[in-house]
Structures are given as structure tokens and as C-alpha cells.
Amino acid sequence: MQNISDLIALAIFPGGLFLATIALGYEWANRKLVARLQNRLGPPWYQPLADLAKLLAKDEVLPERTIGALFHGLPIVALAGVLTAALYVPLFGLRPSFGFDGDLIVAIYLLGLPTMCIGLTGASNPDRFSLVGATRTLTQFFSYEAPFLLGLLGPALVAGSWQIGQIAALARGRWLVLTQPVGFVVTLIGLMGELELPPFDAPEAETEIVAGALTEYSGRGLAFFRLAKDVELVVGMALIAALYLGGVDPALSFPLSALIFFAKTLTILLVLAILQTIFARLRIDQTVGLWWRYGVLLVLVQWFVTILGRYLPL
Amino acid sequence: MTVTEDALAKGVELLKPWTEETNVPEKGRTDVILRPENLLAAVDVLHREPWGHLTSITGLDLGVDAGEIEVLYHFRRQAAVLGLRVRTPRDAASVASIWDILPSASFMEREMSEMLGVDVVGMPPHGRLFLADDWPEGAYPLRKDFSPEEAAQQRPAEDRPGDAAEKPQRFIIPIGPQHPALKEPGHFEFCVDGEIITSASARLGYAHRGIEKATEARTWVQDLYLLERVCGICSHIHAMTYCQGVEKLAGIEVPPRARAIRTLMAELERVHSHMLWLGVGAHEAGFDTLFMYAWRDRETVMDLLESLSGNRVNYSANLLGGVKFDVGDGQIKAVLDGADILEKRLHHYLDVATTDESFLIRTQGIGTMTQQQAEVLGTVGPTARASGVTRDLRLDAPYAAYPDFPVKPVVASGGDLLARFVVRIEELFESLRVVRALVQNLPEGDLAVRVPTKIPEGETVSCSEAPRGELYYYIESGGADKPERIKVRTPTLANWGAVLSTVVGCQLADVPMVLAGIDPCFSCNDRMVRLRTESSGRRLWSWEELRRYGIEYYRCKTSAT
């Protein structure tokens, strides 16, 4: 029986299909919010689903001089990576499906998998826009990943655990955003960097390099990459909600716990949407400068204060 | 002696050692006829002085009987226009390249060389600029004896070694002809070292429609409609400049009310064009919010243009001899209200462009062009004014209603993208001020006077300040109901040199903005005929054939499913 319920958790609920469907909903919410903030109408609610269905139905064109296995395989790895990461994160007001000591690190790296895959696939095909896009994707990866990781480790330091479930249990109702505001901001912006949302969309800046590393993708590969990003958005926001915004008490009954989860993640999404609309795109060198000059330093100061607070008798 | 006469006298004096003959074809313009071998010396002395800037290079085919081609180099110093004219035999046409002295000449020389078959000696190696790759060698469309039918029989040109072939080792980023950064087709190759641009080249002509050639086969009135379609954004200014030139040739004075309405449309068009550019500029920087808002507010001026003329883009306001429509009281009120809304919004955008930190780091100090560069590269319009070059024909040589409704100069000294944003937005405050003054003080009187169908023999240079800068028309009449030659030099052609030289050293990410910084208008640039030959497996389709093919295609498709 344990095996069957594990399989359900992995493929249907709360991970897998259910998560993917919800992720499409979040993509719509994001697009709609950004559109309304830009004084546009925005897409209808089923647009992300329609996009996905259309892409899945289309032919996938393999560019010349490209390794087919990488080109077709990497989108699947990317999607699998984020769906696996989702199992260690408390979603929809439930406990994480799985957990072990150190799963925080594993989840963070699984979340980074789509970016790695996009970089790899962009670098492995001869298209010049893809190559420049891949260079930028990987450059950005190396700049936001460190502060993003350090930001998520802040709550872990307080909890003295590397397991998301345990940190979440400690952070529940504590609203660590109040005691670690810098870590919260850095993590939130790190998530934007990870998802290549404006103003950190230099790797896919359409006015310069068309669609960056994914320029050559059509059909299924593109659908998987897009879905992976949507899932990553939800998992990332769930992680931030659990670690910084007090999470959701799993002891609460069903509709209430889910409602709290959605309220918290949608609030984060609103903040993300506002941040996406009010800036011009940063150049890649400006992005790197921002993260390493400010992001890392600030979060290290935050760490220092946290460690002092924890180990010094005050 | 007026300033203009003074300037011309000075120019003639400078050119004395090489002058064969001097003509004064119209007020404010002097032609100096030179021997071809003296061209370089003459251009050099004008450049050293410096005497104005090179406005355009115009080639004239004098016909098979005369056996000669004449090349005109028009220089402008405020209202004064000095023309250097050289003649070269038709069967071995060649002139020296003045590119070395005036880099701004390179695009004009290339255009002239391709269209008229004049060998320009001393140009750096280059591929074709305007003509299609498979255009046959030796077919020169602007020659009087050019026949499309004959040219189609000739063998297409071999693959030409363009700029790309000469540097195979470098990493080249192609932008265009189809690219999200470009709203119109053009092709640019940027060699990059990492993210830094090391060289740039351009290939144009993707939207060439052969308008210059086509004008020679149409009547003066038909040409008005054709020339209005040179550009899809600044359509009115093309028609107006053409009309002013033809009216000058015919010796006709346009009624004041018509001149005021022309000016009104021209200024509203400038508002619409600059706001469109503001949105595009913001979009290139990834600042889509500004893009969306700017275009929303641009609808205000589009509505005004529509309510005045009935059209959003090709207003068709001009007639030879006047304008087609009057402006009533209701429209005046609408214009005044619209101007208030636009002014308020533009103040906000100026505020955003000059204070928003994330936008400033993308515009400040990017694509900088010093005043000296702007002069040497022959830039015009807001691009020049953003580099501190006060060059505005509305002030320098007022036409239409500008003598009665003068504009104040708007210049900035920065020379970077930020300065180009500031100049364009501030220029609009001036435009709106003039628009208000115009509608509140519209002169009474007729809207048009009659113009004969045959225009007296002669030639004229008609220039105006289009939204993108100095627009140049050379119009020659042989006394018939059709023009002998019409040459259009759009502001974008004069500004390409600025883009390709300022972009070197920039980051790849800045390229779209620097490109957009001059507000390029490709369809303005491109006016040449396109030819497909049988032997290349492609052929010219007529509209009727294309239409029938389309209908057939869809019929087959629907019956198959």
C-alpha cells in the first residue's frame, strides 16, 4: 500500500498532474496580473493550457548538427527535476510527501535543474541566438544561485535542521520574514532570477536574441520547458511561504489550509508581478553585479546576525 | 546681404579654384559645376571650412542621347544649399568616392552606384546595400533606358562576397531581416567578442518598392499619392515636401490657411511618430510597461488625426496647391483638449525617462555620439540635436506656416540614448505649443489654388523637417505632365552612419536600443524595384496572379480536409 500511495503522490496528487494543472493556473494569474498592471487586457484563464496543448500537438524540429538525445531529453529532465523537488516541499497546506535530513539542499538543486538543462541545450545546438542565450542563462545561474541558496539557508540556521519539513514546522506561525527581512527579499528576487522573469530576462531578451537558449525549440520540448518553469514558480513560492511567511498548519482542516496556502502564494505572486512591471531589463553584466555586489553581501550580513543571535547569550 | 546669400557667396568663393561655371537656379541655392577630377579637392575644402553638411547625393541620367550621367552633391548650411555638379560619360561612369572625407557619404554613394551604375572609386569593399542578391549585374534601374523585361532575361548575379564572407573566423550575430527587435525588415551583422560588439554592417532594401522609378511613369498628381506611401509613419511630411517642391517649380503661392493646416498635420504627425518611438525605445530596453502606456496615450493623437483627416496613417491632407480639408470649430476644441491630455502624459514620461533608475542604467552613457561625431557623420533630426547639433529646418529654413508660428530649438548635449529620449519628448512640448497656436489663430482664406497639370521646366530642392530629421526631395521637371526625376533622401539614410559607428564597443544588449535610437524607418529608406528572374526559378507575380493563387491554394486546402 505504501508503494501505491507514494506513486500517487509522485504522479497524481499532490505532485505530478495536480501540481502541473495548478501551475498552469499560476502562470495565468501571473500573466493576467502583469497585463493588468501594464494596462493590457491579458489572456483568458485557459490560455496556458491552450498553449500547452498546442505545443504538444506540434512537430518538434531538430536543428542540424544537434545531438538529438540532448535536444529531446533535456526538457524531460528539467520537468522531472522540478516535479521531484515538489515532493519535498509542503504544498497546498499538506505536509511534504517525502523528507530526509538534507532535503533542502537537494530540493534547491533540483529546482536549479531546468536552468542547467536550458543552458546545456542552448550550448549544444549551433544557433547563434541559442548560444548567446545559453551563455547568459548559465552566467545568470552562477550569479543568483549563491544568494538564493544562502537566503533559503537562513531559516535552516534558525531551525538547526537541513530538512524542509522540520524547518517548516519550526517556522510555522513565526513569520521569519520579520526577523530575516533581507533573506526574504534576496530569496524572492533569487526566484525571479531563476525563472528569468523581467527584469532578469536578459537570457531570453526577445529584442536581442529572439528567445535565447530556447530559440530552436518548438513542440513538445518547448511545452516541457515552459511547464517546468510554471511548476518551479509554484514550488519556489511554496518554499518561500513555508520558510518565511509562517507556512500553513497541516493540522487545519482541508478547505482552510488550502485557502491559506493559496492566499500566501498569490500574495507573493502579486509582489512578483509588480516587480516584473516596474523595471527595465537589466543587462547581464548588471545582473551579475547586482547579485554579487549586493545580494550575497547582504545575505551574509543577515547570516552573521542570525548566528550571533543564536549562539551568543544575549 | 542676408545670412543665406552670405553663406552662398562664401561657398562659391571657396570653390573658385575648381569652378567651371556657377548657376543660381533658385533663391537660396547655387550650383557649382566642376570637372570630375576636382571633386575631391572641392569637397575637402568645404569640409575643412566647414561649410554645412552633406545633405544628399543625387544621380541624374541625362539620357542616351546626351551620353552622360550627372552627379549632384548637395550641401546645406542652414537655409543655403550649395550644389556641386559633376558629369561623367554614361558608358564608363565613374566618380571619386568622398567617403574618406565625409563618412556620411558612404550610404548615399552606395545607393547612387547601385541604382545608376556609377562606379564610385575608392569606397571600402562592400556587398550590395539595396538591390536584391540575385539582381542581374549591369542592370541599373534608375537609368532612363532601363527595362524590367530585358533585365529579367539576364542572368542573376552570382553570390556576392559580402562583408560576412571576409570575416569567417568571427562570431557574428545576425539581426534581421526578420527579428523581434525590428518592426521592419533590415539586416545587420554584428561581430561580437563575448557580449561586446567589434564591428557592424548593414544590408537594406528588403522593402524596396521602386517608388523613385515609378514616379517617372506617373503624372504629378498621381505621384502625390505614391509619395505619401514612402513611409507608413511620417506619410504627411513626404506628400507635403513633394507638394512644396512642385508648387515652387510652378511658381504658385499656397494660401495661408492651407499652409497652416499642413503645418498642423505635420506637427501632430511628429507627436504620433515620437510617441510611437518612445514605446519602441522602451520595449527594446525590456521596459514593456512604459511601452504599453506610451502607446495607449498615443491613441489620443491618432484619434485627432483621424477626426481631422478621416485616416489614421495616410492622411492625404495635401493637394498640389493646398489642402483637401478644412478644420472646423469642433475639431479645434478636440485638438486643444487632446493637446492638454498629451502634454500631461508626456511630462510624466519625461519624468520616468529621466529619473527611473533601472531605465537610466540602460540609457545613460550608452551609444554616445559627441557633437563632433554627429557633425562628421552627417546626422540629422533629433539624433543630431541630442548631440548638441542645432540642425532643424523649421528654424533654419522655415517653410509652410513656420515663419508665422516659429518653433524654439530643442537640443541636448549628452549625445547618449538618454539625451535622445529627452530631446524627442521635449520637442513634443514645442510641437504641442505650435499646434495650439495654429488652431487658435488659423488664418482665414482659401484652402487651395489651381496648379497646371504640366509643370514648367526646371529643378528644385525641397526640404523639410520630418519627425526623424531633414527630408530631402530633388524634383526635376522637363515641362511635361510627368516628372523627369524625383530623388528622395530620407532622414534614416543620413543617420545609418551614426548607428554603425556608435554601436561598436557597445554591449550586445544595447544594440536594439542604439539601433532604435535614431528611430530608423526602413520603408522610407527602401524605394527600389524588386525583380525576380525566370532563371532563378522565381518570377514576378502580379497582384492578380497572387490573388488567384491565394484563392486556389485555400480552395485546395479546404477540399483536402
Return d(Cα B193, Cα B254) in angstroms, integer.
56
3-class secondary structure, A64: coil
A203 lies within 8 A of chain B by CB: no
> For chain B, what is the mean pLDDT?
84
Contact call for A281 and B286, based on CB within 8 A: yes
Residue B534, pLDDT score: 43
Q: Which helix (H) or strand (E) holds B548?
A: helix B543-560
Q: What percent of chain B has pLDDT over 70?
A: 93
pLDDT of residue B523 exceeding 70: no
Chosen for mutation from A207, A275, A283 (greatest number of chain B CBs closer than 10 Å) is A207
The domains of chain A are located at 50-311
Contact call for A38 and B293, based on CB within 8 A: yes
Per-residue pLDDT band for B258 (boundaries 50, 70, 90) equals very high
Residues linked to residue B76 through DSSP beta bridges, in sequence order: B53, B81
Residue A268, pLDDT score: 93
| pTM for this prediction | 0.85
Task: Report pLDDT digits (tens) over A82-99.
Answer: 998 888 888 877 777 777
Return d(Cα B516, Cα B538) in angstroms, integer.
34
Residue B525, pLDDT score: 56
Return d(Cα A237, Cα A85) in angstroms, integer.
13
| pLDDT, greater one: B221 or B169 | B221
Question: For residues B308 and B315, is the Cβ–Cβ distance under 8 A?
Answer: yes
Return d(Cα B264, Cα B236) in angstroms, integer.
11
Q: Which residues of B touch A277 (CB under 8 A)?
A: 288-289
Contact call for B180 and A210, based on CB within 8 A: yes
Domains of chain B: 3-126 (3.30.460.80), 221-314+323-452 (1.10.645.10)
List B residues 291-310 in contact with A (Cβ-Cβ < 8 A). Answer: 292-293, 296
How large is the C-alpha radius of gyration of chain B? 23
Residue B333, pLDDT score: 92
Core vs surface per residue A123-160: b (16+ CB within 10 A) or e: bbbebebbbbbbbbbbbbbebbbbbbbbbbbbbbbbbe
Contact call for A207 and B508, based on CB within 8 A: no
Mean pLDDT value of segment A287-293: 83
| pLDDT, greater one: B340 or B527 | B340
| pLDDT, greater one: B267 or B181 | B267
Return d(Cα B109, Cα B107) in angstroms, integer.
5
Q: Which residue from A201, A205, A277 is facing B289, i.e. has the nearest CB? A: A277
φ and ψ at residue A2, rounded to 5 degrees: -55, -40
